[in-house]
Amino acid sequence: VLCHVRFPLMKSSELVDSVQTLDIMVEDVLCRQYLLEAFNYQILPFRQHEMQSPRTAVRSDVLHSCVAVLDNFVYLVGGQQLQYRSGEGAVDASYRYDPHLNQWLRIQAMQESRIQFQLNVLRGMVYATGGRNRSGSLASVEK
């Protein structure tokens, strides 16, 4: 029996209301073990760093490589989209996390797609410097 729980992505209420109600989750020993592991992960957020495993890994086709903090907001900018053909897969996407609302907001994208670049804060602004993309090395800065 194949049982797979993606518990870092699920809220505790989803585990209770949706996953736990499935017969296989109760009947299959491995599924029940995964469900218990998922519950523990969700109810003990300050111990999640101790519970890391392949089941807790972030599952995304976009790997963001640069992070900066400004005015208590977290900025996640650029990165690389996994591609199975050719190309670097650099992205221009930018996001801002608001810890008060526990929400990510997509903000204006960069003018250039970038991977392997620096993201810094200076005088109340976020700057993306250098890096590379499908065109090659970048000798530019964006604010």
For residues 39 and 19, the answer to whether their CB atoms sit within 8 Å is no
Q: Which of 15-19, 59-63, 88-92 has the lowest mean pLDDT?
A: 59-63
The answer, as to whether pTM is greater than 0.75, is no
User: Looking only at Cα atoms, what is the longest distance across the chain?
Assistant: 58
- Mean pLDDT in residue range 1-20: 64
* DSSP 8-state code for residue 47: G
Domain extent listing, the chain: 2-50, 62-142
- Which of 3-7, 102-106, 138-142 ranks highest by mean pLDDT? 138-142
Under 8 Å CB-to-CB from 100, ≥6 apart: which residues?
72
pLDDT digits (tens, 9 = 90+) for 30-66: 888 888 888 888 888 888 888 888 777 666 555 677 9
Angstrom distance (rounded) from CA 120 to CA 79:
15
For residues 105 and 118, the answer to whether their CB atoms sit within 8 Å is no
